[in-house]
Amino acid sequence: MIVSKPSRLHRALSGAFNTTSALALLTLTTPVMAADATSCSALLPSSQTETQARNALPLAQNLCLRDVHEGRAAVFLPSAAGNGDRWGFLDSQGQLVIKPVFDDVGDYHNGAAAAKQQGKWGFIDTTGNWLIQPTFDSVQPFTKSGLAAVVQAGKPQLVNRKGEQAGKPFDELVDEALLTDGIPARLRLSFKSVLLSPDGVRHVATDKMEVVEPFGTEGLFIAFDATQGYGIADENLTWRIQPQYSAITLDPRNPAVALAKNADGITLISADGVQDKQKYLTVSEETGAFWLAKTADGIKLLDNSAAVIATFSDAEVSALSVAGDYVLNSLAKDAITLYVPGRKQPLTLPAASEPLGQNTGDFLVTTKGDQKKVNAIVAPSGGMIGGTQNVGWLAQIASADVINHRLWLRNDQGEVLNVVDAAGKALLSQKSITTLGDSHIEPLNVGAEPVSAQLPLALIRPDGNKGKGGAGFLRPDGSLQLEAKWLDIQSADSSQNVGQFIVVTADGTGVVDAQGKTLIPLTEDNISPFVQGYALDYLDGKLTAMDHAGKHYDLPNVFEIQSAGNGWFRYHETAAEGALWGIFDANAQKSVSQPAYKTVGNYANDQAEVQMPNGLWGIVDGEGKMLVEAKYAKVQRINAALWLLTKPAVADQPQSGVLAEIIGNDAKTRISPTAGLSVTQFTDGRILATSAAGQSWLLDAAGNIQLHEQQTHISALGDWVKLSRQPQEGYLNAQGEWQIQPVAETEGSAFEQGRALRSTTASAELIDDKGARVAAMPEGQWALPVASAWSVSYDALEGVPSTRYVDNTGKLVLTVQGHASRMTDGHAVLTHEDGRKTWIDAQGKPVEGVAYTDLGLPVDGLAFARIDQNYGFVDAQGNFVIPPVFSAVSPFDSGVAVVSTPAMSMMINKAGKPLARVDKECGISVLYGAGSSRQWPPAMPENCTK
């Protein structure tokens, strides 16, 4: 067997073990080697360095032999049963007192250590015997009060040192219980999310699932598992796609495809929750219908189902351009290839075609030549007008607008040339255009797709000066309905979607329906458009109101009058500036209110909002009586049953602090005045109300509160409702009962010397073990470190990095420049701007001549210190008594410390005498005692020559 030559450091350390001489160990000054995959030491991740520095702990860790806790150090050695490596423990003399039989272990805390066997966790005592048999999924250390948080069968609970349940069982929504040492012990509870479906069924998220946002067309959600990553969940909150991705994101411009990211690339997930098998290096949204995705063999053009439409090289991609949702490829010299949303096969456009520089919605209009004449129109279906075929009237197009999913085309004079539907059909024939002559075509923007012939596309209004043709309709199929007797026509209602039209004839004015049938005889002198269900009608010089049935109502003789809805009219008696509004009820033919209001809102459900001359708003009932006192800055109708009332802001008050409340039509309060109250309405009529402080209420359309759980945030996920109970934090007695009741949205510390720090986003305070406030903390972000009676803050003062300390009475006792660690036994570690560290005392005075790249607090007269990358131990004057030759060290505990080089870990006493070491020999870990006698394993492998 060939044995490699040991390094000089290895030989020197071995000599120190053989002589068991502290002096021999102190002479070792050889620099340590760099760590590798099998190293016995390693630097801590950068994410932990700030925490380590604030607690004055080393920035490197021991691996082959863990740090000492309560006189025990965990060690990883060949199993006593000969089945691989297992964990055991050394005592503070370096003796193997617990053989390596455990799959995993924690450190000792309060006389017990967590240990794992056969996939389950339990607790062992200091002799290695089971204190609590291994039956748990996971465990946390025991606290001083004798409690531990464990998870069994997926459910968190508290146990005592006998393994019995302590305190009351947690409710089913508790997701995680985090127990922190101290008396009383701090317990922080976090909760599972609950989703409420539109039909009111509650769905509890699986362990660690956090629903992020809705996705796709089948009731899916992007969800997150804290331990495994992102996946897709269905409406029952079970995983449709297991959590496995570092992120799943939606492009806000095109949410039809989700991008699932991992180290090995990007996977596309379609709206039905199906994963594409292809992995992509990069994916970018090009239009609302197409994506570009890069692979090792080219760049793919994908549609919203993740299907590959075309493949390009890097050079060919430069020839692509987009217009709306269309992709144009101008690589070929003789033509342009056009990719149309929803079509697998592309179209062809003439070379040099360019998109029209106007917003044409789902249509594509292209031009060609220096004069930018239109040469093609492509409809959303892929139907095309022009292109390779010459259509004469295309060249006359000067502008294009999309109205109700149809493309309206006009010439330079603004006259309609044609209308193109979504199938690509030009609706106006040459005969129709000739028939229309100089008539005006007025599109009806009804806000929805017309159904068959029920509603027309446009009104035909003849040019009165030229007197040719009658008024009428342009139908959805392009046909004309013209009536020679109709001189003019307009929508009867400002909303344009009631299907009634005011028609003017030589004999009078009336109202017809969408088919031209007379609803109100054409005998009135003049009819205004209907507002809030009523039109103003003139007949024989008399002004009346008229409803859609043609019934007339007398009105008062006033200067100005307007419909407020449901028979109410607001009016000005005179034209005087600042004239107030009165209210007249046309149905009852009586005055509701004499002019008294600055503003009168719409009247519905026997109520209307009114504004007084002083600017404040209230609500009046059908008799004009003040139902809600006029004391609000704003009154907003939520729906037919509810109002949102906002109180005036006080001086310099932010919007989030303004009080608002919700009341019903009965004037009874549904939600009392709350700061920053806002509402969101669901499509089914439900209402979500939230406050600036995070309170939430779910109400039905009638205003009944369906859900208002304390400390639970309610949010909308589409038409679903997400219930997120806020984490709670309190303190437990030894029986597992609340000694200090839990409070939401707070962060607390462990108790130190009878005090704990409790913080909110706004302030912090010190409390005693009864939960009573001892003192309010100064402004800033505060922490109470473990083993420190002083709280510490790192808020910069006047732009200068600073550390402040407050004692356990709440008194600010010390401020120093720079970042300092916790203050323990009158010492803290201060880090200078150059990164060098020194000690300061309780008055902030630094110790002269002490400056190291890493430094700990003295324990039994010794503190770890580092020069460059090498650790050793210094005395109270900062002089090395154990030289800096180690790559990692621990603070002293029970009179011993663990130190490591990349090649080995060992336990030393305060004199620097080695008590034990763990080394690698013959491919296994070997434990040696103080005299270099092998403690473990009992026998070396047969092929080992040593």
C-alpha count within 13 angstroms, C-beta hemisphere, residue 618? 15
State which H helix or E strand residue 315 sits in: helix 314-317
Per-residue pLDDT band for 724 (boundaries 50, 70, 90) equals confident
Residue 403 has phi, psi (to 5 degrees) of -130, 120
Distances (CA, A) of 175 to 211, 228, 724: 14, 16, 12
The token pair that represents 686 in the structure block: 């439900």
Angle at 130 between CA 164 and CA 107, to 5 degrees: 95
The label of the residue with tokens 């003399």 reads 93
Choose between 735 and 833: higher pLDDT: 735
Q: Exposure of 114 by Cβ count < 10 A (0-12 exposed, 13-18 middle, 19+ buried)? A: buried
DSSP for residue 493 = B
Mean pLDDT calculated for residue range 531-559: 92
CA-wise closest residue to 510 among 492, 527, 522, 498: 522
| Higher per-residue confidence, 271 vs 709 | 271
User: How many other C-beta atoms lie within 10 A of the C-beta of residue 879?
Assistant: 10
Name residue, tokens 């009965």. 666
The burial class, CB within 10 Å (0-12 / 13-18 / 19+), for 741 is exposed
Q: What is the pLDDT of residue 484?
A: 92
Query: Considering only CA atoms, which of 102, 45, 42, 35 is closest in space to residue 74?
Result: 102
Q: What is the spatial distance between Cα 186 and Cα 168, in angstroms, rounded to a whole number?
A: 16
Q: What pLDDT is recorded for position 99? A: 96
Phi and psi, residue 405, nearest 5°: 65, 20
Q: Is the pLDDT of residue 36 over 50?
A: no
**Phi, psi (degrees; rounded to nearest 5) at 220:** -95, 165
Q: Is there a contact between 544 and 537 (Cβ–Cβ < 8 Å)?
A: yes
pLDDT in tens, 923-935: 899 999 988 899 9
pLDDT at 205: 84
pLDDT tens sequence across 78-134: 998 888 999 999 999 999 999 999 999 999 999 999 999 999 999 999 999 999 999
For the chain, report the end-to-end CA distance as a whole number of angstroms. 10
Question: 3 falls in which pLDDT band (50, 70, 90)?
Answer: very low
For residue 655, what pLDDT band results from cuts at 50, 70 and 90?
Answer: confident
Conformation bin of residue 58: beta by default, left when phi > 0, alpha when psi is -120 to 50: beta
Mean pLDDT of 856-874: 95
Give which of 775, 782, 783, 786 is closest to 809, Cα–Cα. Answer: 775
What's the chain's average pLDDT? 90
> Is pLDDT of 739 > 50?
yes
Tokens of 668: 């009874």
Determine the 3-state secondary structure of 187 from DSSP: strand
Distance CA 104, CA 544 (A): 90
CA gap 642, 700 in Å, rounded: 10
CA nearest neighbour of 409 among 455, 443, 447: 443
**Are the beta carbons of 729 and 740 closer than 8 angstroms?**
no
Residue 444, H or E segment: none
- Residue 13: pLDDT band with limits 50, 70, 90: very low
- Average pLDDT, stretch 525-547? 91
The first and second tokens of residue 263, run together, are 């180290």
Q: When comparing pLDDT for 292 and 468, which is higher?
A: 292
Sheet arrangement for strand 802-806: 782-783, 791-793, 802-806, 812-817
Predicted local confidence at residue 151, as pLDDT: 96
**Tokens in use for 291?**
């994506």
What are 568-612's pLDDT values in tens digits? 999 999 999 999 999 999 999 999 999 999 999 999 999 999 999
Tokens 């100005």 correspond to 560
Interatomic CA distance for residues 94 and 908, integer angstroms: 8
pLDDT at 5: 33
- CA 934: distance to chain centroid? 56
Inform me whether the pLDDT recorded for 943 exceeds 90: no
Inter-residue contact 214 to 221 (CB < 8 Å): yes
Q: Looking at residue 604, what DSSP letter applies?
A: B
Tell me which residue of 925, 882, 935 sits closest to 905, measured CA to CA.
925
770-813 pLDDT per residue, tens: 999 999 999 999 999 999 999 999 999 988 999 999 999 999 99
Task: List the one residue out of 659, 612, 615, 667 whose CA is nearest residue 643.
Answer: 667
Q: Give the H or E element holding residue 105.
A: strand 104-105
Which bin fits 5, alpha (ψ -120 to 50), beta or left (φ > 0)? beta
pLDDT score, position 35:
35
- And the tokens for 390? 């010459």
Checking if the pLDDT of 478 tops 60, the result is yes
Q: Which residues contact 1 (CB under 8 A, 6 or more apart)?
A: 943, 944, 945
Nearest to 743 by CA among 755, 758, 723: 758
The reported pLDDT for the residue numbered 200 is 80
**pLDDT exceeds 80 at position 39:** yes
In 3D space, the residue among 160, 177, 339 whose CA is nearest the CA of residue 734 turns out to be 160
- What is the pLDDT at residue 760? 85
The pair phi, psi for residue 15, each rounded to 5°, is: -65, -40
Torsion angle of C-alpha atoms 23, 24, 26, 28, degrees rounded to 10: 160
For CA atoms 23, 29, 35, 41, the dihedral sign is: positive
Q: In whole angstroms, what is the distance from residue 480 CA to residue 516 CA?
A: 12
Model confidence pLDDT, tens digit, residues 899-913: 999 999 999 999 999
Picking from 23-27, 301-305, 776-780, which range would have the lowest pLDDT averaged per residue? 23-27
Q: Is the pLDDT of residue 253 over 90?
A: no
Element (H, E) at 94: none
3-state secondary structure of 18: helix
Residue with the two structure tokens 């004499």 = 594
Question: What pairing do the DSSP bridges indicate for beta strands 72-78 and 85-90?
Answer: antiparallel
Least confident of 374-388, 451-465, 695-709, 727-741: 451-465
Cβ atoms < 10 Å from Cβ of 558:
15
Our separate counts of H helices and E strands in the chain read 5, 92
Structure tokens at 744: 């939401």
Residue 163 identity (one-letter amino acid): G
* Residue with more model confidence, 11 or 225: 225
Instruction: Note the pTM of the prediction, 2 decimals.
Output: 0.70
Edge-to-edge strands, sheet with 904-909: 888-889, 896-900, 904-909, 914-921, 924-929, 934-936
Strand partners, 136: 121
Model confidence at 438, pLDDT cuts 50, 70, 90, reads confident
Q: Which one has a higher pLDDT value, 541 or 37?
A: 541
Q: How far apart are CA 946 and CA 940, in angstroms?
A: 8
pLDDT value, residue 1: 26
Question: How much is the average pLDDT of 333-360?
Answer: 93
Strand ranges of the sheet holding 626-632, from the earlier edge strand across to the other edge: 599-600, 607-611, 617-621, 626-632
Token pair of 133 as six digits: 């048999």
Longest Cα–Cα distance in the chain: 127
Flag whether pLDDT at 10 surpasses 80.
Answer: no
Using alpha carbons, select from 767, 739, 728, 733 the residue that is nearest to residue 751.
Answer: 767
Query: Is the pLDDT score of 17 beyond 50?
Result: no
Closest CA to 742 of 764, 724, 726, 718: 726
Question: Residue 241 gets which letter from DSSP?
Answer: E
Distances (CA, A) of 411 to 374, 396, 417, 443, 473: 11, 6, 6, 16, 21
Q: Compute the distance between CA of residue 73 and CA of residue 96 in angstroms, rounded to an integer.
A: 9
pLDDT of residue 20 exceeding 50:
no
pLDDT at residue 653 is higher than 60 = yes
Cis preceding-peptide flag for 595 (omega within 30 of 0): no
Q: Residues 177-215: pLDDT tens digits?
A: 999 999 999 999 999 888 888 888 888 887 778 899 999
Least confident of 518-527, 550-559, 846-855, 936-945: 936-945
Domains and CATH numbers, the chain: 8-190+890-936 (no CATH), 199-316 (2.40.128), 633-718 (2.40.10)
Residue 718 clears pLDDT 90, i.e. is over it: no
| 3-state class (DSSP) for residue 56 | coil
Q: Kindly write down the DSSP assignment for every residue of 121-185, as one continuous string.
A: EEEE-TTS-EEEEEEESEE-PPPTTS-EEEEETTEEEEE-TTS-B-SSPPPTTEEEEEEE-SSSE
